[in-house]
Amino acid sequence: MQYITQVDNTLWALISRLQGTELQTPSNASNTHFRIAAVSNDHVEVVTGANNSSVTLTRAAFQQTLDYLASNRHFGAAHAVEIGSSHTPASAGPLCHAARRQPDGRPGTVVITYILPILEHCQAVAIQRDARPTSTWLVP
């Protein structure tokens, strides 16, 4: 089975095609949609919420997410991991921390709630939205 574990040019091209697309975060709440506003060579800009705030997702954050899932063997639904998204670093799960880690090691903005739906749309991961806690895994 082949899993997507690298943010190569093929995956980035798939992500680039999503510009203008509206997606839903893993929480399934009514106000959790975001729009992919722009895609460059190494960033995705998303617009969130009613106030149209902007969040930048780095290509490195996508890779850090895939690295975490692959290195911890989250292959298939039987090996799902809790997403654990939280703005409070002490409450955030390891996947949330992996995605938002800055080059200097400090925690950055919470981005996992936007990265996972994008990867899901590209058929790299699946998200279990109907159960709590929400979880994710790599798909072949």
Residue 13: partners with Cβ closer than 8 Å, 6 or more residues away: none
Nearest to 36 by CA among 28, 27, 45: 45
**What pLDDT was estimated at residue 44?**
98
Question: What local confidence, expressed as pLDDT, does residue 11 receive?
Answer: 98
- Determine contact, residues 23/118, Cβ cutoff 8 Å: yes
Range of the domain at 85: 9-138
Q: What confidence tens digit (pLDDT) does each residue in 32-48 have?
A: 899 999 999 999 999 99
Residue whose pair of structure tokens reads 């998204």 in the numeric block: 85
One-letter amino acid for residue 120 of the chain: E
Any idea which of 28-32, 70-74, 93-97, 118-122 has the lowest mean pLDDT?
28-32
Q: Identify the band that residue 1 occupies on the pLDDT scale cut at 50, 70 and 90.
A: confident
Q: Which of 31-35, 67-71, 134-138 has the lowest mean pLDDT?
A: 31-35
Domain count, the chain: 1
In-domain check, residue 80: yes
Cα–Cα distance for residue pair 35/67, rounded to 1 Å = 25
pTM score of the predicted model: 0.95
**pLDDT higher than threshold 70 for residue 113:** yes
| Mean pLDDT, rounded, for 89-102 | 95
The CA distance from 24 to 32, in Å, is: 6
Q: Would the pLDDT of 124 be above 90?
A: yes
Q: Is residue 2 part of a domain?
A: no
Q: Is residue 19 part of a domain?
A: yes
At 51 the pLDDT is: 78
Question: Model confidence at 31, in pLDDT bands (50, 70, 90)?
Answer: low
